[in-house]
Each structure stands twice: as C-alpha cells, then as structure tokens.
Amino acid sequence: MASAFKCAIFDLDGVVTETARLHSMAWKAMFDEFLRGWYQAKGEPFREFTDEDYLLYVDGKPRYQGVKSFLDSRGVDIPMGDPEDTVDRETCCGLGNRKNVNFQAIIETQGADVFPTSVAFIRELKERGIRVGVASSSKNTVLVLKKAHLEDLFETRVCGLVSAELGLKGKPDPDIFVVAAKQLGFEPVDSMMVEDAISGVTAGFRGKFGFVLGIARHIPAEELAKVGADRVVKDLGEIQVDEVFAWFDAGKNVKA
C-alpha cells in the first residue's frame, strides 16, 4: 500500500542553512544605524536592536513587513515607501533595501554554512521517493543556495522574488508553502513542512499541512508547539524519516 506521505517543504534560513545568524547581523547593523539617528533627533537615549527583537518581529517575515513590525514595536512611524526606494530613503522599503545590501556583503565574505543533518535528512527523503521543495521569504534564496552549494537539492523554489511575482502573502500566511507543495503536484495534507520561526510554524498550521515539524534552534520548543507544530526537535538529526512515514500512515496528517 502506497504511503500518504508524498511531499516535504523546507524553510531555508535556520533550517537548512545557518544563514539566520547572518540575517540577524545584517538587520542589527541597519536598525542600530537608523535608531541612533532617530533617538538622537527625539532627544531620547539610544535603544539597540536585540536578538529578541529579531526573533519577535523580523524572523521569517518578508523583509519590508519585518521592518514595519519592528518599528511599530518601538512606536516609530515612517512611510512604507516603494520597493524601488534607494537605501538612503527613510522608508520601510528603503531600510529593508539597506539591510539587503548589508546581508549580501556579509554572505559574499562569510559564505553560507549548512546543517549537515538537514541535508542528509532531505537526501534520504528524495531517495525514498518524496518530492522536496524550499519556501522562503528571502529574496536572496538563490544566492544562499549557490553559496551553500545546494542549487540542486530542491525540486522547486518559492522565494521572496516568486512571492512578489505571484502576489503571495508572507508568513504567517501559508501561501509560499502551499504554492511550493502544489508546484510539486500535491496538497498540504499530503505534505510535511519544516520551519524554525514562529511565523513559519503558524503558516504550516494555518495551511493544514499533514505534518508540521518545528526546529527549536532559537525559539523554545513549547512556543513552536503552541502555534501548531506537531512535533519539535532541536535538529533534524533527532528524527528519523521512518517516523514521518508512520505519522502519515497512521492518518494523523488529516487535520480538522
């Protein structure tokens, strides 16, 4: 009897590659520069952008949405602007573009490390006939895959550039994951999705994916479970492919 498990969609940063750290560095450099000027103009003491800010307001979200989310948390009101805004514009889009320049400079210098256990897990899925795709909010997905030497690992890719072309909503909406699964010919109920961000796990839950696997690298496991992860591990080396097949074959993939 054929398994009900057909497809797996993976987030990239923090799940397959260690680039979440590089993104955080790029965000901090951009926001701290902006905030120094903002607080100085207001006559208020400087409050830096922290790791907690990154995880709460930015991680996993589309770039400009992440800018707005964080600035809203600080009561900073600037125009949204336009994606074509130059990096010197004090708009959400201008700041987002400034962050992107920072990130590209960092990754060109440092490269993109991978989590070997994640790559091994994905390769075993492929060997066992599971179709695999990557879904990421980042418009730098192609660059990251190239720097990590993983261009051929995934059969389909839905990234920030594809989202813009198709008008997809960003996390916590499930659009990018659902589209990736459908590009491989399957529905979410037939599919596993893997995420490390609260916004991403929420997206998997909302999309009614058959198995939502949370990776608790920086977010507490209970927080990922709370927003919809069916199971949470610290690393993909902690779960066997057979366990995912068993989940689907037991009918646990069908969500109310």
Instruction: Return the active site residues.
Output: 11, 13
DSSP character at residue 256: -
Q: Where are the alpha helices (DSSP H) in the chain?
A: 20-42, 51-53, 63-73, 92-110, 116-127, 141-147, 160-166, 175-183, 198-206, 221-226, 241-249
Distance of alpha carbon 188 from alpha carbon 166, whole angstroms: 19
Mapped onto helix, strand or coil, the DSSP state of residue 103 is helix
CB atoms within 10 A of CB 115: 18
Distance of alpha carbon 250 from alpha carbon 36, whole angstroms: 55
